[in-house]
Amino acid sequence: MSPSRIQTLLSQLDAIWYHDEWFTTVTRALDGVTSVEAAWKPAGDSNTIWQLVNHMNFYNEQILQQLTNQPPHQAINNTSTFGSPGEAGNEDGWQEVKERAFSITAEIRKAMESLSDSDLDTQVNETTLGHTLSSWVMHDGFHTGQIVLIRKLQGSWPATIWP
């Protein structure tokens, strides 16, 4: 028997956040990142790791709000969702941002577990809930790659990550 659409989306969520598959996870990408590393800004017009996680948190909260029938918060524009670059000396603040990321995702996963495949056909704005959730998972995967690239540029990404 083939997996349901919900099971497929949950597997994709797990592959992006928790279980290394063909690429690294958010969990591994953020593992051991300090506030100094999170606030480090590459040359040019780039975001910090801290900003990428802020941005993911913003949109992940929007997904959670949709799933729990709460009015979604709005941003002035996409750029504003990245927030400040973070403070190198604010380890507690960085840990809060990271913990929030994992908390939001756990809540999304829990909400998704209660959905049926037919729920995925519900209209959300100009698309369906299923399309929105699929795009959201890819969004987090995209930004995970950026986090890994920043860590490689700063020399904080381990040379070997799989045994």
**Please, what is the average pLDDT of the chain?**
93
Distance CA 51, CA 46 (A): 10
pLDDT at 31: 95
Distance CA 117, CA 123 (A): 13
pLDDT at 161: 64
Q: What are phi and psi of 132, to 5 degrees?
A: -60, -45
**Residue 45 or 138, more confident:** 138
pLDDT at 151: 96
Distance CA 33, CA 87 (A): 13
Average pLDDT over residues 27-52: 95
Average pLDDT over residues 109-127: 93
Q: What are phi and psi of 155, to 5 degrees?
A: 80, 20
- At 54-104, the pLDDT tens digits run 999 999 999 999 999 998 888 888 989 999 999 999 999 999 999 999 999
